[in-house]
């Protein structure tokens, strides 16, 4: 008979994506008995699922890889400045094999729920296959954009052709040649798909609700010399990322927009537009995301770029956001996205003018016209951050479901724990810092911090940790204060917890830590230095 008072594992990690892989590496290093439960049949998380055409980083590849192993950095060669999904998935598999982590991972394991046993101080994890596993600590590495959402449109299931959410793109090659294809959604995903398939399909019809401020990615292959330079300067690259608010090599220009003469301002903006990656968002004047006038001027500059690139002026106007300024939603980076609309086979439908009435067996019916398609691609996004938690029935000691606790506000302390859920440790929890940065950079912070906490607990003989309600309240207030300064705080997007397709999420919720990575890390280390103040350890 097994001893029911003792859990089977010291730690269970849910998810084998970027976060789960590194967390398992650290647990293995610390000699903590752990297993990773992953619903997919392989590691990779986001990069396992999102196999749609055009899926690639908007982060420089060499800032996206893990920084923890010099050997790994020395041996892995990214082929492009912004790598595509297949390469990233290969990379993550390589990491798993290199550090012998696969033996700790169970694939095809979908977690349905988990409940905390107060008496024995452990979590019981229920799997879809009927198994129950127990663990002292339950670590969620369930991703921030992993709960894909289909649009709430009548008739979605009635379509007789192929249709997929981009997240569930088939693993087998899809023949697009000559096909009549619809794309619903123009976020970062839709923008990548549209640009990639425009010249590969027969007809492409894009259904756009709100346009986004897209800007050029400027991807390129990494030549041998640059490859050597990257390898020789990894320390500097990661130091730049560490110092920047977003965990990128791009840091804000500390000058204020008004302090710079117009000519110089325009010269900087032109340079940023020509520079690869997120420079045009993150290397801008410090107040462009805060000062409405600065933001309006910059938005006007980008609008003119769109007008220059799209031949038809009516289409160009439809592609220019009018309801929000540049950078107040996540900026999609693109390669020849706007040029796609210059093609005769690409059609843009503004569904504010002619709303979608329903999906029909043959295609999509708007208030103006019925369209027939062979394939409908739903690039309609995610129930971000809390969505993945809501899909697992976490219940605390008193039986309180986490989704009920978070129904009004997804409150946490530091994004790491939420009061009332002991020993549940979140790697990318709401209001945390890892969800607002270049993901692996933020994740390394979270994993390292949580691993230190586990070490501290082991050294001090503690087996229970819980965020204090008071600390959580103060953190929520701090997060809200940080939001106040930002223009993005009033704009509906996944970064403000908005999703029109999920009940009760069609409103603004404070979901990410908007104060920047350095400030977040500073708070984390203060808490640790003060004996994990704000947490009850016993």
Give the Å distances, CA to CA, from 343 to 72, 212, 276, 347: 43, 20, 25, 8
The reply on whether position 331 binds ligand NAP by CB under 6 A is no
Number of residues that bind ligand NAP (CB under 6 A): 26
Stretch that binds ligand NAP, among 55-63, 105-113, 121-129, 456-464 (CB under 6 A): 55-63
- Reading across the β-sheet that carries 363-366, which strands appear in turn? 356-359, 363-366, 370-372
> What SS3 class is residue 467?
strand
Task: Kindly state the smallest distance separating residue 197's Cβ from ligand NAP, in Å.
Answer: 15
Please, are residues 67 and 444 in contact by the beta-carbon 8 Å criterion?
Answer: yes
Nearer CB in complex with ligand NAP: 23/189: 189
The reply on whether position 152 binds ligand NAP by CB under 6 A is yes
Nearer CB in complex with ligand NAP: 287/350: 350
The reply on whether position 363 binds ligand NAP by CB under 6 A is no
- Binding-site member from 90, 110, 209, 218 for ligand NAP (CB under 6 A): 209
Nearer CB in complex with ligand NAP: 135/189: 189
CA distance 479 to 483: 6
The reply on whether position 242 binds ligand NAP by CB under 6 A is no
Please, are residues 342 and 286 in contact by the beta-carbon 8 Å criterion?
Answer: no
β-strand partners of 45: none
The reply on whether position 377 binds ligand NAP by CB under 6 A is no
> What SS3 class is residue 341?
coil
Nearer CB in complex with ligand NAP: 210/509: 210
Nearer CB in complex with ligand NAP: 23/186: 186
The reply on whether position 330 binds ligand NAP by CB under 6 A is yes
Question: Tokens standing for 345?
Answer: 């086979």
Question: Tokens standing for 512?
Answer: 């990410």
Nearer CB in complex with ligand NAP: 184/416: 184
Collect all residues with Cβ–Cβ distance below 8 Å to 229 and sequence separation of at least 6: none
DSSP per residue over 169-213, as a string? --SS----TT-EEEEE--SHHHHHHHHHHTTTSSEEEEEESS---
Please, are residues 56 and 195 in contact by the beta-carbon 8 Å criterion?
Answer: no
- Binding-site member from 143, 363, 381, 396 for ligand NAP (CB under 6 A): 381
The reply on whether position 348 binds ligand NAP by CB under 6 A is no
Question: Would you give the binding string for ligand NAP spanning residues 167-206, x where CB under 6 A is met?
Answer: -----------------xxxxxxx-x--------------
Task: Kindly state the smallest distance separating residue 264's Cβ from ligand NAP, in Å.
Answer: 31
Q: What H or E segment, with its residue span, contains residue 70?
A: helix 70-75
Stretch that binds ligand NAP, among 84-92, 272-280, 373-381, 412-420 (CB under 6 A): 373-381
Task: Kindly state the smallest distance separating residue 433's Cβ from ligand NAP, in Å.
Answer: 15
Stretch that binds ligand NAP, among 104-112, 379-387, 466-474, 526-534 (CB under 6 A): 379-387
415: phi > 0 → left, psi -120 to 50 → alpha, else beta; which?
left
Q: Which of 189, 197, 219, 187 is nearest to 340 (CA)?
A: 197
Q: Give the pairing type, strands 424-426 and 132-140.
A: parallel
Please, are residues 486 and 492 in contact by the beta-carbon 8 Å criterion?
Answer: no
* CA angle 33–37–42, rounded 5-degree value: 120
Nearer CB in complex with ligand NAP: 18/133: 18
The reply on whether position 58 binds ligand NAP by CB under 6 A is yes
Task: Kindly state the smallest distance separating residue 184's Cβ from ligand NAP, in Å.
Answer: 5
The reply on whether position 534 binds ligand NAP by CB under 6 A is no
Please give the residue ranges that form the binding site for ligand NAP (CB under 6 A): 56-58, 145, 151-153, 184-190, 192, 209-210, 330, 351, 379-382, 494, 500-501
């Amino acid at each position: 008979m097994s001893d029911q008072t003792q859990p089977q594992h010291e730690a269970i990690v849910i998810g084998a994506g970027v976060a789960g892989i590194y967390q398992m590496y650290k647990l293995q290093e610390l000699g903590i008995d752990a297993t990773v439960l992953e619903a997919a049949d392989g590691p990779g998380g986001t990069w396992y699922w999102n196999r749609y055409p055009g899926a690639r980083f908007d982060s420089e590849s060499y800032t996206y890889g893990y920084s923890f192993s010099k050997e790994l950095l020395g041996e892995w060669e990214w082929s492009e400045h912004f790598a595509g999904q297949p390469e990233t998935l290969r990379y993550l598999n390589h990491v798993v094999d290199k550090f012998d982590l696969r033996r700790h991972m169970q694939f095809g394991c979908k977690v349905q729920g988990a409940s905390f046993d107060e008496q024995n101080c452990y979590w019981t994890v229920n799997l879809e296959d009927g198994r129950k596993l127990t663990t002292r600590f339950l670590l969620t590495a369930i991703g921030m954009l992993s709960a894909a959402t289909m649009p709430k449109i009548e008739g979605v299931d009635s379509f007789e052709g192929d249709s997929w959410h981009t997240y569930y793109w088939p693993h087998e090659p899809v023949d697009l040649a000559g096909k009549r294809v619809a794309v619903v959604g123009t976020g970062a995903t839709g923008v990548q798909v549209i640009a990639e398939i425009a010249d590969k399909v027969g007809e492409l019809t894009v259904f756009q609700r709100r346009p986004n401020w897209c800007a050029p990615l400027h991807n390129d292959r990494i030549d041998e010399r640059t490859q050597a330079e990257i390898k020789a300067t990894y320390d500097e690259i990661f130091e730049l990322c560490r110092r920047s608010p977003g965990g990128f090599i791009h840091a804000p220009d500390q000058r204020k927009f008004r302090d710079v003469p117009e000519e110089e301002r325009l010269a900087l903006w032109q340079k940023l537009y020509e520079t690869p990656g997120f420079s045009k968002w993150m290397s801008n004047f410090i107040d462009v995301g805060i000062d409405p006038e600065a933001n309006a001027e910059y938005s006007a500059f980008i609008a003119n770029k769109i007008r220059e690139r799209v031949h038809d002026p009516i289409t160009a106007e439809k592609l220019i956001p009018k309801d929000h300024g540049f950078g107040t939603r996540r900026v999609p980076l693109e390669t020849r996205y706007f040029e796609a609309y210059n093609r005769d086979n690409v059609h843009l439908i503004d569904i504010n003018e002619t709303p979608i009435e329903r999906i029909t067996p043959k295609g999509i019916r708007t208030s103006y016209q019925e369209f027939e398609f062979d394939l409908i691609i739903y690039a309609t996004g995610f129930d971000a951050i809390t969505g993945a938690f809501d899909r697992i029935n976490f219940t605390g000691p008193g039986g309180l479901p986490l989704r009920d606790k978070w129904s009004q506000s997804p409150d946490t302390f530091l994004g790491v724990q939420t009061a009332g859920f002991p020993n549940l440790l979140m790697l990318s929890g709401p209001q945390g810092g890892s969800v607002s940065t270049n993901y692996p950079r933020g994740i390394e912070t979270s994993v390292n911090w949580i691993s230190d906490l586990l070490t501290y607990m082991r050294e001090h003989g503690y087996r229970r940790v819980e965020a204090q309600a008071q600390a959580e309240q103060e953190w929520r207030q701090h997060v809200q204060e940080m939001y106040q300064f930002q223009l993005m705080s009033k704009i509906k997007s996944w970064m403000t917890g908005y999703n029109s397709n999920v009940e009760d999420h069609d409103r603004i919720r404070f979901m990410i830590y908007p104060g920047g990575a350095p400030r977040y890390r500073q708070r984390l280390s203060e808490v640790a230095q003060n004996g994990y103040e704000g947490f009850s350890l016993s």
